[in-house]
Chains A and B, each alone.
Chain A
């Protein structure tokens, strides 16, 4: 068995971001980073996803839709918090209409927004450890 997976398909949901994180996620698809080349991709349906990536401090209006997308992803599956807001250390943590971040993340990618080159490296590392230890995920 190879200890690196050949693809990691990710469903993205914005939960109150400032759009900086989204723009950097889009940059990953551009030819400068070309993350599809190494088997990473955004997928349109949670049914096709291995991981859920959330940006923003988890606005209350998006909390339920995020839960629903998570429930629709088949196991094994992982949670990724992208950016300081989702990581629980952004400037909007205490705003009333947020839940202060995306909890129980298996992978936290810090930065405001994360630099795409560094983010790509962390996602590639995740392709390694999700293959070795599919049970690393933290509860449901």
Chain B
């Protein structure tokens, strides 16, 4: 039995800045991966955020597009007839709403630029506590990947080669995300840009 792929935790900004999609085998059914700048090799991702807009952009059949924001940016999700459960769920959710999404990364080219989106397998309404937990977990795992970027693992090496990853940029992203769940923000010694 084929083992199920782990759902990686990445923030929207990092996901949006990814463009390295590949397969490991030359087979049309081989799993597709998206390698992110901090070296997360994603066949599936799990994220929580606020669904802020959605619309049916299909002609004859329903094709839902929605935007889910996290503290760092937004994920675009598209669900049509091949994602029946997610499409049905999306049609019933009125934004704004906290949602959890489990889905597959997708990339497409538009005027020379690679855009990322998500094909959701599942999308469900969750609460604010779940959002906090996801931010903390994703911050922790992103930080761990940043620390391991120079340790020479295959994914890290490939990510560094492809993106010339700017560690400072993603460190700031993690800090921004953590700030949104920190209750003692004042005591923490980093610069809050919105106060300037």
A and B physically associate: no
